[in-house]
């Protein structure tokens, strides 16, 4: 792409979905202008204009054209800057599997992970079990490879890495050890953090925990 391309990312620092896009852009070495949305104080007119359907971040604005929904944005980034660090497999079946498990993260892992700090009592215990059961399923997809993408970090790794920065928060609110339950998954996260673009893009786990604690106090949980 031309150096004159204008790339803007509408984002919100703690968002796992925004982090995905930041990781993909960093993996490709794409420079962009980040615009932080203060979602606690209302949504900007730019966000409402660029994503009038869902009115959510992240939104990637490429030469004035908006792309919405994190996994779609990551795939878009991979296609546009395809000459740099491919993320999705070229094999159609492997590509379909990567997309399937990324969708599993959004539909099956994310909802119960949120309940670890929003639910109480029996619902909290049920969410804890669901969360651990589901990340164990996901862990199985690592097989004997160092990454979900096989020998190199790819699309599915980027889809789940933002959750790795919340592992400390999940453990603190859920009163369990992810390393005890899913040692391969924790080893995978540590391996990914050895990549400079990953360690630069992921928020510190303790910062994420502090933000969640602040949020729960604010909403009275």
What pLDDT does 128 receive?
A: 96
On whether both 101 and 202 belong to a single domain, the answer is yes
What pLDDT does 120 receive?
A: 92
Residues 156 and 146 sit within 8 Å (Cβ to Cβ): no
On whether both 111 and 71 belong to a single domain, the answer is no
Name the burial class of residue 208, with classes exposed (0-12), middle (13-18) and buried (19+) by CB atoms within 10 angstroms of its CB: buried
On whether both 193 and 115 belong to a single domain, the answer is yes
On whether both 184 and 139 belong to a single domain, the answer is yes
Residue range 24-58, pLDDT digits in tens: 999 999 999 999 998 777 899 999 999 999 999 99
On whether both 76 and 149 belong to a single domain, the answer is no
Residue 2 lies in a domain: no
pLDDT above 60 (res 207) = yes
**DSSP secondary structure, 76-111, as one string:** HHHHHTTTSS--S-SSHHHHHHHHHHHHHIIIIIHH
Residues 159 and 17 sit within 8 Å (Cβ to Cβ): no
CATH of the domain at 14: 3.40.30.10
Task: Work out how many domains the chain is built from and give that number.
Answer: 2
On whether both 173 and 106 belong to a single domain, the answer is yes
Mean pLDDT over all residues of the chain? 95
Residues 19 and 202 sit within 8 Å (Cβ to Cβ): yes
DSSP, collapsed to helix, strand or coil, labels residue 202 as coil
On whether both 73 and 35 belong to a single domain, the answer is yes
Residue 60 lies in a domain: yes
pLDDT above 70 (res 3) = no
On whether both 74 and 21 belong to a single domain, the answer is yes
Residues 148 and 157 sit within 8 Å (Cβ to Cβ): yes
Residue 188 lies in a domain: yes
Vertex 110, ends 108 and 114: CA angle to 5°? 125
Residue 162 lies in a domain: yes
On whether both 136 and 181 belong to a single domain, the answer is yes
Residues 11 and 35 sit within 8 Å (Cβ to Cβ): yes
**How would residue 93 be classed by pLDDT, with cut points 50, 70 and 90?**
very high
Residue ending a domain, choose from 80, 102, 123: 80
On whether both 128 and 159 belong to a single domain, the answer is yes
Structure tokens belonging to residue 198: 């990953």
Residue 87 lies in a domain: no
CA distance readout (Å), 66 to 22, 50, 78, 164? 16, 6, 16, 28
Q: Which domain holds residue 102?
A: 92-219
Tell me the C-alpha distance between 100 and 170, whole Å.
24
Residue 64 lies in a domain: yes
Query: Which residues, 6 or more positions from 160, have their beta carbon under 8 angstroms from its beta carbon?
Result: 102, 105, 109, 138, 148
What pLDDT does 191 receive?
A: 98
Residues 116 and 167 sit within 8 Å (Cβ to Cβ): no
How many other CB atoms sit within 10 Å of the CB of residue 188?
22
């Amino acid at each position: 792409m031309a150096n004159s391309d204008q790339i803007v990312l509408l984002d919100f620092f703690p968002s796992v979905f925004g982090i995905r896009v930041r990781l993909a852009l960093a993996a490709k070495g794409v420079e962009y202008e980040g615009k932080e949305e203060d979602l606690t104080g209302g949504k900007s007119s730019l966000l409402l204009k660029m994503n009038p359907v869902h009115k959510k971040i992240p939104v990637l604005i490429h030469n004035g054209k908006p792309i919405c929904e994190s996994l779609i944005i990551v795939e878009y980034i991979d296609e546009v800057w395809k000459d740099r660090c491919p993320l999705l497999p070229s094999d159609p079946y492997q590509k379909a599997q990567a997309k399937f498990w990324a969708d599993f993260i959004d539909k099956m892992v994310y909802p119960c992970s949120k309940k670890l700090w929003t639910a109480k009592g029996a619902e909290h215990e049920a969410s804890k079990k669901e969360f651990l059961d589901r990340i164990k399923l996901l862990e199985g997809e690592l097989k004997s490879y160092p990454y979900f993408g096989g020998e190199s970090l790819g699309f599915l790794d980027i889809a789940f890495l933002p959750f790795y920065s919340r592992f400390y928060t999940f453990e603190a609110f859920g009163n369990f050890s992810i390393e005890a339950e899913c040692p391969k998954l924790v080893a995978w996260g540590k391996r990914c953090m050895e990549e400079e673009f990953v360690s630069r893009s992921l928020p510190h786990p303790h910062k994420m925990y502090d933000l969640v604690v602040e949020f729960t106090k604010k909403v009275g949980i």
